[in-house]
Every structure is written in C-alpha cells, then in structure tokens.
C-alpha cells in the first residue's frame, strides 16, 4: 500500500519533470541560451578580427587569426591572446617616425661646408678650412644669420636686403672660386 503510494508520487514527479521539459517555457529558455551563446561566439570572433587587424599587417595572417578565433569556439581567442603581436601597428609606425625624426635632427646637427665638406658649427660665419663665406652676420650684434631671415632674432635689426643680395653674390662667387680651386686641388694634386 505504502509502496504503491510512493510509486504513484514518483510517477507524478517524473511526469511533472518531463512535462516541464516538453513545455514551451523550456524550449524558450533553451533556444534563448543557444542564441546568446551563438551571439557571444560571434562577438569573440569579431573581437579577434578587430584586434588582429590593429596588430598584424599581413591580411593572410589576420585571416588565420580570425579563423583561430572562431574554431575552437571560445578557446581560440584565448590561444590568440598568447600568440598575438605585443604592439599595435600604429605604435610601431609612430616609433619608427620618431626614430626617423631623431636621425634627421642628428643629421641636421652634423653641418658641413657646402664646398669642402669640412664639419662646421651652426655659428660659423666662414668655413675655417676653405674660407667659404657660410652665413652673413648681423650688422648690429654680429650674430650669424640664416639665409631666409628678414630680421636678426637676437637684436631685432632688419637684415639689409641689398647687402644680403650683395653678400649672397659674394658668397656665391667665393664659393664658386673656392670650389673650383678645391676641386683642382682634389682632382689634380700634381699637374
């Protein structure tokens, strides 16, 4: 009698459980779960693709990384995290530009006489080796002036244009003469 009642109760319980699994609520929960897992998987694949594009230049390797992000699901992105390049391409490019700019600054500091290629300082008015006039000096404070300057930046004296032209002529003549003689000296040491 007691066992019959228990069996009946068990039947009711299992019947209830199987009813639940057959019910539309269960179907809805299961489908929603599958849908969210699928969306999450798509999101991880997309994340791997986006991250790989910022770090890898070769489109084929980006494709390989994306496939790895998709298969095996969820484990692929973790494997990708271990092997991805440590830097963004943008940062690498920026650093290369900085290095290039630094090299250019260093090269600019390494000034040479246009005629005899001797090293000269930015403040030199004349090449000490071949006596080529390199820069004109301010008529007021004697500071060396760059060719394009219209005014002395040290004492505000305007650069005298006719003088500048005349001096440029002189410089050209001198450098031509000096260059010619230097070339003669270099090319034909013993005539």
Q: Is 137 in the site for Zn ion (CB under 5 A)?
A: no
Q: Is 115 in the site for Zn ion (CB under 5 A)?
A: yes
Please select the residue that binds Zn ion; options are 45, 130, 136, 159, rule is CB under 5 A: 130
Q: Is 155 in the site for Zn ion (CB under 5 A)?
A: yes
Nearest-approach distance from CB 130 to Zn ion, in angstroms: 3
Nearest-approach distance from CB 158 to Zn ion, in angstroms: 10
Please state the three-class secondary structure of 4-58 as a single string: HHHHHHHHHHHHHHHHHHHCHHHHHHHHHHHHHHHHHHHHHHHHHHHHHHHHCCC
Nearest-approach distance from CB 191 to Zn ion, in angstroms: 22
Nearest-approach distance from CB 117 to Zn ion, in angstroms: 7
Residue 99: CA count within 13 A, CB half-sphere? 6
Q: Is 18 in the site for Zn ion (CB under 5 A)?
A: no
Q: Is 138 in the site for Zn ion (CB under 5 A)?
A: yes
8 Å CB contact between 113 and 134? yes
- For Zn ion, which is the closer residue by CB, 44 or 175? 175
**Which tokens go with 116?**
């005899």
Nearest-approach distance from CB 49 to Zn ion, in angstroms: 59
Chain-centroid distance, C-alpha 76: 29
**Which tokens go with 166?**
């005349």
Please select the residue that binds Zn ion; options are 56, 64, 129, 164, rule is CB under 5 A: 129
- For Zn ion, which is the closer residue by CB, 19 or 160? 160
Please select the residue that binds Zn ion; options are 152, 167, 171, 174, rule is CB under 5 A: 152
Nearest-approach distance from CB 152 to Zn ion, in angstroms: 3
Instruction: Note the residues at the interface with Zn ion (CB under 5 A).
Output: 113, 115-116, 118, 127, 129-130, 132, 138, 140-141, 143, 152, 154-155, 157
């Amino acid at each position: 009698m007691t066992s019959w009642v228990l069996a009946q109760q068990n039947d009711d319980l299992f019947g209830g459980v199987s009813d639940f699994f057959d019910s539309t609520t269960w179907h809805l929960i299961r489908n929603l779960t599958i849908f969210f897992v699928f969306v999450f998987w798509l999101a991880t694949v997309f994340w791997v693709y986006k991250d790989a594009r910022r770090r890898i230049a070769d489109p084929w390797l980006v494709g390989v990384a994306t496939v790895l992000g998709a298969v095996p699901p969820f484990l692929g992105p973790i494997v990708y995290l271990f092997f991805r390049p440590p830097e963004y391409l943008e940062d690498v490019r920026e650093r290369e530009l900085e290095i290039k700019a630094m090299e250019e600054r260093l090269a600019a500091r390494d000034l040479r006489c246009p005629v005899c290629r001797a090293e000269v300082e930015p403040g030199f008015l004349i090449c000490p080796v071949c006596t080529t006039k390199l820069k004109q000096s301010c008529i007021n404070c004697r500071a060396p002036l760059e060719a394009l300057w219209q005014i002395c930046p040290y004492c505000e004296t305007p650069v005298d244009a006719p003088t500048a032209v005349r001096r440029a002529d002189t410089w050209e003549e001198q450098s031509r003469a000096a260059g010619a003689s230097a070339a003669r000296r270099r090319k034909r040491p013993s005539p």
